[in-house]
Structure 1
Amino acid sequence: MPIPLLEVRLTEDDILRALHTDVTTALTSTPKRIHPRWRWDSRGSELYELINETPEYFSYRTERALLQSIAPELAGLATVDTLIELGSGLSEKTQIIFDAYSKEYGDVEHFIPLDVSISALRQALTALSNRYPNMAIHGLVADFNSDLESACELGGDRRMLLFLGGTVGNLTPPEREHFFGSLRAGLRPGDYFLLGSHLITDIPRMEAAYADSSGLCTEFNRNILRMLNTRLDADFDPEAFEHVARWNDAEGRIEVFLEASRPMDVHVRGLELRTSFAKGEWFQTDVSAKFGSGAMATELSTAGFEITREWVDDEHLHSLLLARKPL
C-alpha cells in the first residue's frame, strides 16, 4: 500500500505575505474588492459544504450528476494512469472518476491533488488512501496560479488534469488566457484536460444560488471579514454588512458584495492601515462568470488545445469539456 505524500509548497508565511499584499490593495482601491480565495479558511470551507446542500445552489449537484452520467465514456476516451486535480478540496466528485476507471481498467495509478487548504488535503488523503489502497497519492499544498507548471511535472506517462466546480469562472478573461497558456505549456503532448464550467441560465435562478433563503451564503460572505479580524487584528463588524449577489449582464457573471449598512471606520492593526466605508458602499468579494454554449471550447482552442468532447446536462446548467494538448 503506497504511503500518501503531502508536500507543502505554500507555507503559512507565504500565505500571510500574500494576504498582507492583497488586503492592502483591496482596502486602498476604489472600488474596494478582494480576491475570493481568502474566504477559504476552515470555517469558509465548512460553510461552503453546507451551501452545496441548499435547494438554491444547484451547481454542485448538477456537476456531480453529470460526472456520474459521463464517467464511463470519459474513461474510454482518455485512457490515463494519472489524475491531477486543481483546487481539489475533499476530492469527493473525483471519486466518481476513480470508480469509473477502476471498473474499466483497474485503479488509477497516481493522484496529485492540489489545494491551498492543508486541512482539506489531509482529510482527503486519509479518505482516499483507505478507499483506493493501490493508488499513489501526492498531495500539494499550493496555489495553482503559481505552482501550475510544477504540478504538471508529476505523475505517470498518461495524465489528465481536472479543474472542476466552475472555479474557472473566478478568473477574469485575461487571467483565463494566462491560465490556459500556462496549462498548455506545463502539460505534455497527449495529456488531457477536463474543465467544469457553469452555463448561463435564467437570471433569478443564478442569483438565488448565491443568496440562499437559509442565510448560509450571507455567513459565507461575512466570513471573510471574520478571517481578517482574526488574521490581521482588524475590527470589522461583520453584522453591519449585508450580503448582495447580482448578475452583471455586460460582464456575463455573478458578482458578490458586502454592503455597508452604516458609515464606519475600520482599523486593520496587523497592517497599520485605516479605511472607511460609506453607508451603502460595496466591497466586492467574489465574481463567478457563466458561459454561453461553446465559449470554453473556443477559449481552449485559441489556447492551442484540441477539443475531444463536451457534455452538457439536460437543463443546460453545466458543461464538462474534455480537451487534449496536441501530440
Structure 2
Amino acid sequence: MADLALSVLDLAPVRSGETVGESLAASVALARLAEQAGYRRVWYAEHHNMKAIASSATSVLIAHVAAHTERIRLGAGGIMLPNHSPLQIAEQFGTLESLHPGRIDLGLGRAPGSDQNTMYALRRDPRSADSFPQDVLELQAFLAGESKIPGVQAFPGSGTRVPLYILGSSLFGAQLAAALGLPYAFASHFAPHALHDAVETYRREFQPSEQLDAPYVIAGVNAIAADTQDDADAQFQQTKRQRVRLFARPGLRLSDDDCDAVLASPQGAQIASMVQYSAVGRPADVRDYLESFAKTADADELIVALQSPDTAKRLRSAEMIATELALA
C-alpha cells in the first residue's frame, strides 16, 4: 500500500525532567524530520491545564514550527472552538496562512479540552459547545471573506480560505462533517469505540461542498517502531504507565509497579482500551498494522501519535516508519 497517506499528531509531550523549551525544540525536530521523510502533515492539539502537554497555545506553536520548516503542512488537530470566538481563530489562522501560504490546516473540535475549573479560567460558557455547528459556519464565512456579521471581517483571515477539518470521536462530528462537506478526522488513537459507525455515517451522508467534492477520512492511530519487539513493547508499557499517572489523583506518586497493578485491574482495562489501535513492533510489523488498519477503518489518511517515551526514540520511530512505508 505504497500510496498510504501518513501524517503525524504531535502531542508536544513534556517528559519528566524536561523543560517546556526542550519539549518545543523536540516538536521542531520532529516536524523537520517529518518534512524530510515524506509525511503529509503535522498537527498539534489544544489542551489546557496539563503539565505534561506543551501545545495549549496551538497557533503560537504552529507559527514557531512553520518558521523552522519549509513545505510540510502544519495545523491544529485541533482547536477546541468552544474555547474561542470564531473571529479570533479566523484572525490567528488567517495570519498563519498569510505567513506560510498553502501550508496551514485548521481542525476543529467541540470538546473544551479541559475540566470545569479550567473552562471557568478560560472564561467560557459551559453551554458554548451547543453552538459548535453555528460557530464552524461563522468561522468558515470569516475565512471566505463572506462574514455573517454585518460590518465585521477577519483581518488577517478574510479570503484566505484556510481548509477546515471536523474532529470527533462520535457520530455527532461525523454527521456535521458530512452535512458541511468537510474532511473528517476521527480520534481513534484514544477514543476507538465509535470509529466504524462514525466513518460509515460520514461516508453515507456526505454532501459535496466548495472545499471538498468527495468524503475524506483521517483516522488516528498510536505507533511505536523499534529494532526489536521487546524494545517496542517496553516503550508501549511506559506509555500506558504515563496514562495511569495522568489520570491519578494530583500529587499521588505511583511507581512503575503501582501503575502495572492498576493496568492489570478492571479499572485499568479502560485505560488499555483507549490505545486499542496501536502499531507496536519492528518496522515491518508496524507497516503491516498501519496498512491493515487503514483498510478496516476505511481511512484515506492515517495520523500517527508517536508514543515513544523520549525524543530520540520518538524521532527514530518516525524515521523507521517512513522508511518502511517509502513515504519520501
TM over 0.5: no
Higher helix share goes to which structure?
Answer: 2
TM normalised by structure 2 equals 0.40
Higher strand share goes to which structure?
Answer: 1
TM normalised by structure 1 equals 0.40
